[in-house]
Chain A
Amino acid sequence: MSAYLQTVGITKYYGGVCALKGANFDLRAGEVHALVGENGAGKSTLARILAGSTRADGGTISLRGEPVEIATPLDGQRLGIGIIYQELDLFPNLTVGENIVIGNLHFAEGRTVNFRRMEEFCRPFLDQVGLACGIRQTVATLSIGQMQLLAIARALSMDARIILMDEPTSSLFEDAAERLFGLIASLKHRGVSIVYVSHKMDEIFRVCDRATVLRDGETVGTVELAGAGVNDLIRMMVGRELQFAARAARRPAGETILAAENLTTSKIKNVSFELRRGEVLGIAGLVGSGRSELGAALFGIDRIESGTLRMQGGSIAPRSPRDAMTSGIGLLPEDRRLQGLMMRMSVLENATLAVLTEISGLGFIHRGQEFSVVAPVARRLELNCPSTSAPVSQLSGGNQQKVLLARWLLLNPSVLFLDDPTRGIDIGAKHDIYRLIDQLASDGKAIILVSSELPELLRCCDRILVLNEGRVTAHYDAGDATQEKIMSAATNAEVRT
């Protein structure tokens, strides 16, 4: 069967970071085609390029053998390509009908709103997806599952022959997901092609015909799913080289410092683990698996609904980050710009923010002392900045992360939760952070390390906990863990040990 939509050598850079380098992909008419890969492999970027919401820097796209240019979402619509974003780009305060007709080339809007005409236009598509609601209903009153159906109805109303779905089941409950799979089958039956971006293996094997695997922005290959197994796909996804020197031999871990038992919040379920002094515990899992939410529970951000948390034997229930810090828990957040740094403040001011009371008297900051406490930490981290009074916004990503690490080194908590500390930073800074983790562990600190990069976890950790949909699905000693085992536990919902 010949390709309906084909891409050759698509490249995309974000700043200096390469998101896609030579992505090849072909889609047949009337097939459901999975796009899979690890976090950051480039799946969503490729989907956005096909829909025209992101522009590629190089490569060609052809539709029915003709080269096409998809520069804007409107171009995508003209070519019959629709996209359902993970976060559903609907207007929550507008009505169902308005959401369908807005920007729709197939509905000529008059100067005034004509609800009868809108109803006539929208109803067939709402029926097709099985969404029984009035067109005057406000979108915010719909459930997530209904919103998803609405987004699909909108794509259909734009006469989409290709629908791209980015993680469509990530926020759906079981029954809503079932309804979605039924709809996908009937769309396929009518000759609509679907690109299904997901990392849930069971779903992929259930609804898709073929799968294309991306790794680090490149196409690894395309397989017919009928003749393949989960392990084949996982091998293609992870095959990244271990590019780091193995960690120095590990000293025996000390006594237990933090113990969680059946920890449950609105986002994680029955998570139990023990953490010893001098130990690095890795947390593996896809985005949304509950790995950051585990940190939110320990750091007093999400309310603990049930389960116990013991710190050095004493029961704790942190109700705020301040509480957690008093108990000796620190957290380096996942998003350093949104949750970590004050971008308009200086390196010095950012570093000392959590220890101001220790370097002040009667409320006045001792400036000399402030400088002298930061200087050795900056040296230890090999922080590279023009001066410590420069705003952090002038630093590179790696150095910004080091400033944030300096804040925690100054506070010196016994347990430090590092949420993806090497995300989006250069290789040199990554190595510095690995070395720091080793040092902290040798000094008797207990580290919890969340990471999207499996080689990184294998490099740094003594034990690795795998989370999936808020639950622990596997628990390995570093010696027993492999990338394949971890990815398998992270993508499959059933519990395995």
Chain B
Amino acid sequence: MQSARGGAGLLRRAQSLAALLGILILAIVISPTASDGSRIFLQAGNLTDILRQVSLIGIISLSMTFVILTGGIDLSVGSILALATALVAMFLTRGYTTHIAVAILAAVAAAALAGALNGAVVAFTGIQPFIVTLASMIGVRGLAKWLTNNQNIDIGFGKDLASEFAAIFREKAIVIGAYALVAAMFWVVLARTVFGRHVRAVGDNEKAAEYAGLPIRATKIWVYTLSGLFTGFAGVLYAAENHQGNPNAGVAYELDAIAAVVIGGTRLSGGKGSISGTIIGTLIIGVLTNMLRLNNVDSNVEMMIKAVIIVLAVAVQRERNGT
């Protein structure tokens, strides 16, 4: 009885992995074939394209997992990403600096600061995270537009600093490598560190965390700060990939990131979830999108199919005993 219930957790994790495998097999089976008879889906170029396409949302959803584990939510990530794209492009194209690293650091630091502000307000006022980050989603978007006069800041293809930056950071290997590195880091932090343990404890039972003397406020401030920081980093990659700083970038990214987290089996009310689940959730969305596009499915239909997948994934993984 007890081991059967202990096995249920494993089974649920296996279920999300099985869902990913199922979609992979379906994608292979229905993949259109190239002139030489090979399946386009399986071509190395296509597979790495998928990874590259999911990398930005993937990075954001990793830090979002920590926020959601504490029982919070971060709706401001799309706006913070836009701010970071704008800042990195401004620093590079307007001669504020001669070092690529300085521009990147400035953008990431500003994003982390925005996240820290979210965290401080959540931790010290007790206002619901949904409302706090909804407000900063609006406010930070405004800041990004104000800084840029609502203009895209283009990054060229020449020999200047900005072009050099874009050439490096739009490399597939760099983008995918960055995602893999950040994922490994979050995995280790959640599984092995005191901070990771605190994150889960606060989300599991905040009252009990108080009685155990845990640093609840510091934990909350840190998860929102990390969310801002890594979203800022994703913004830097976005600017390189799209050759521009765009104050209107990242709209609805928060929803994509949350979708990846919940498909991965993390409870929206906190306390239970995993980084491996979020990675699987991110890949499920990526493979699904790629499969539908290869088969020329209308992008509007694609959205409808995604909607069904999200509900199905969560329904299958839902805990039946209500704890």
Contacts and interface: CB of A to CB of B under 8 A. Distances in A.
A325 B208 CA distance: 14
Given A322-B213, A325-B213, A354-B213, A344 B271 contact: yes
A148 B137 CA distance: 45
A-B pairs, 4 with minimum CB distance: A342-B204, A322-B213, A356-B194, A321-B213
B204 A343 contact: yes
Interface in B170-217: 192-195, 197-198, 200-201, 204-205, 207-215
Nearest to A325: B213
A356 B271 CA distance: 18
B217 to A, nearest CB: 10
Interface residues of A, number: 33
A340 B205 CA distance: 8
A324 B213 CA distance: 9
A487 to B, nearest CB: 30
B35 interface: no
A396 to B, nearest CB: 11
A316 to B, nearest CB: 15
A321 B212 CA distance: 7
B6 A390 contact: yes
B267 to A, nearest CB: 8
Given A342-B271, A344-B272, A333 B197 contact: no
A353 B6 contact: no
Given A341-B208, A390-B2, A365 B194 contact: yes
Given A344-B323, A349-B197, A390-B2, A339 B213 contact: no
A393 B6 contact: no
Nearest to B204: A342
Contacts of B214: 353-354
A463 interface: no
A394 interface: yes
A14 interface: no
Contact of A386 (B2, B195, B213): B2
A343 B205 contact: yes
B3 interface: yes
A338 interface: yes
Interface string A426-450: 0000000000000000000000000
Given A338-B207, A339-B207, A390-B6, A365 B323 contact: no
A90 B271 CA distance: 32
Grouping DSSP codes into helix (H, G, I), strand (E, B) and loop, the B interface class, with mixed when no group exceeds half, is helix
Contact of B192 (A324, A343, A345, A365): A365
B195 to A, nearest CB: 6
B211 A345 contact: no
Interface of B: 2-3, 5-6, 192-195, 197-198, 200-201, 204-205, 207-215, 271-272, 323
Contacts of B210: 301, 320-321
Contacts of A357: 194
B323 A345 contact: no
Contacts of A299: 211
Given A339-B208, A339-B211, A364-B193, A345 B2 contact: no
Nearest to A390: B6
A365 B207 contact: no
Nearest to A389: B6
A475 interface: no
Contacts, number: 82
Contact of A353 (B2, B207, B212, B272): B212
Contacts of B272: 344
B205 A353 contact: no
A342 B201 contact: yes
Contacts of A349: 197, 200-201
8 contacts: A338-B208, A340-B211, A341-B208, A343-B205, A363-B193, A363-B195, A365-B192, A365-B197
Contacts of B6: 386, 390-391, 394
A407 interface: yes
A257 B214 CA distance: 25
Contacts of A339: 207-208, 211
Nearest to A335: B207
A367 B214 CA distance: 19
Given A340-B208, A390-B2, A345 B194 contact: no
B69 to A, nearest CB: 11
Interface in A268-312: 299, 301
Contacts of A394: 2, 5-6
Contact of A342 (B2, B195, B205): B205
Interface in A326-354: 331, 333, 338-345, 349, 353-354
Q: Which of B5, B207, B211 has the most CB of A within 10 A?
A: B211
Contacts of B5: 394
A301 B207 CA distance: 11
Contacts of A333: 208, 211
A72 interface: no
A442 to B, nearest CB: 26
Contacts of B207: 338-339
B302 to A, nearest CB: 35
Contact of B201 (A338, A345, A386, A393): A345
A354 B194 contact: no
A12 to B, nearest CB: 23
A299 B6 CA distance: 35
A141 interface: no
Given A321-B210, A325-B213, A353-B212, A343 B323 contact: yes
Contacts of B212: 321, 353-354, 407
B247 to A, nearest CB: 37
Contacts of A391: 6
B200 A342 contact: yes
Nearest to A353: B212
Contacts of B198: 356
A394 B323 CA distance: 11
Given A321-B213, A342-B208, A344-B271, A353 B323 contact: no
